[in-house]
Amino acid sequence: FLLKDMTAERLFEAVRVVAAGEALLAPTVTRRLIGEFVRLRPHTAEPSPLALLTPRETEVLRLIAEGLSNAEIAARLTVSAETVKTHVSRVLAKLGARDRAQAVMLAYEFGLVVPRSGGPRKAPW
C-alpha cells in the first residue's frame, strides 16, 4: 500500500522492493494497522520468539519496523544490502514469518517496538 503523494524517487524504490518479492506498506499505515492489532489482540503468556534472534537480527527487525528498506538499513548499519538481506531472511525464518509485514506484527505483539504516541507521522514519501 502506497500513498498518493509519494515522490517519484520513492515510487521507483517501491517498485524495486516489490519486484524483489518484498511487501511494502507506508509507515503510517503500518503503524496504524499494528497499533490496532496490538490493541485488539488478547495478551497471552506465550514465550517470545524474539529470544531466538541475535542482537544484530533484533536491530534489523527494529529498523524494518521503522519502515526502512534494505538499502536504508544497510546505510544505517554500514553493511552491504546483501548482508541486510541475509539478516532479514534469518529473522523471517526464526520467527516463522512469511514476510516483513508479519515480522513487524510479531515485533509489536511481543513488545520489541511500541506504537508511537501522538498519532501517526506523515510518511516520508
Give the pLDDT confidence score for residue 42 in this predicted structure: 64
pLDDT grade, residue 85 (50/70/90)?
A: very high
pLDDT grade, residue 1 (50/70/90)?
A: low
How far CA 26 is from CA of 33, 39, 53, 96, in Å, comes to 11, 20, 25, 23
Distance, in Å, from the CA atom of 5 to the CA atom of 36, rounded to the nearest integer, reads 24
CATH class of the domain comprising 8-109: alpha beta
Phi, psi angle pair for 113, to nearest 5°: -130, 155
- Tens of pLDDT, residues 10-28: 777 878 877 877 777 777 7
pLDDT beyond 60 at 47 = yes
Report residue 124 as a C-alpha cell: 516520508
More confident site: 105 or 21: 105
Distance, in Å, from the CA atom of 3 to the CA atom of 69, rounded to the nearest integer, reads 16
Tell me the pTM.
0.61
Q: For the chain, what are the domain ranges?
A: 8-109
Q: Exposed, middle or buried by CB within 10 Å (0-12, 13-18, 19+), for 39?
A: exposed
- Helix, strand, coil shares of the chain, percent, nearest 5, are 60, 0, 40
pLDDT grade, residue 34 (50/70/90)?
A: confident
**Within a 10 A sphere around the Cβ of 86, how many other Cβ atoms?**
14
End-to-end Cα spacing for the chain: 12
